[in-house]
Amino acid sequence: MEHFVFPYILNSKIGYLIWISNDEDSKKDHFVTNDCGKVLTFVSLDDLKHFENHRGLTVTASPETRLLNLDAIADWLSKNEEMPECGVLLNAWNAFSDVSSSFPEEPTPFAEMNFAHKPIYEKLFWGCNLPAVTPAGERFDPIWSVAEVESLKSIFGAGLDLFIASTGHRYQEPFPFPDLG
């Protein structure tokens, strides 16, 4: 099991989560949660580091982790701004899926839509034009139907709601440490 720093931005504030990958128990990627059933959020890397040290975890930065831009998603959904690029959407979809996996006993609207819309997910994936899967000199620029855009908005609305509800959209209070003096 590996623990990684997972940065996000929401309401113009950067926060941090701890993402768990290769968990042999759950078999799914997910985030560290607390006893109150929320995904732990941290306002700074120092606070995350204090938590890491207290729990005896090793949390590393992943070269693959990109900032989860929830502001871009929220602006698109609420202000009818231009749809974010495929990479931003795919990163968010994957994060929402991992938030959902953090609470497997609680079915959510996002989890239901996640499984029902695999062709849209695949279109986003191919629209990222990742070098490992895109032939040299080739590019896929998805063309979205009105129905697909509406489905995307529903999926990302449910995902954003899930993220906010699961984190309480409050940053984790700094971890209290005893006075060792």
pLDDT for residue 23: 66
Question: What DSSP designation does 132 have?
Answer: T
Residue 173 placed within a domain: no
Give the closest residue to 15 by CA, choosing from 177, 166, 170, 159: 170
- Domain limits for position 95: 2-167
- Token pair 């896929």 in the structure block, residue: 140
Which residue ranges in the chain fall short of pLDDT 50? 171-175, 177-181
**pTM assigned to the model:** 0.87
| CA distances to 21, 80, 91, 160 from 72, in Å | 25, 11, 12, 11
Domain assignment present for 172: no
pLDDT of residue 86: 95
Give the pLDDT score at 92: 96
Q: Is residue 180 part of a domain?
A: no
Q: What is the pLDDT of residue 142?
A: 94
| Within-domain flag for 34 | yes
Query: How many domains, the chain?
Result: 1
Question: Would you say residue 181 lies in a domain?
Answer: no
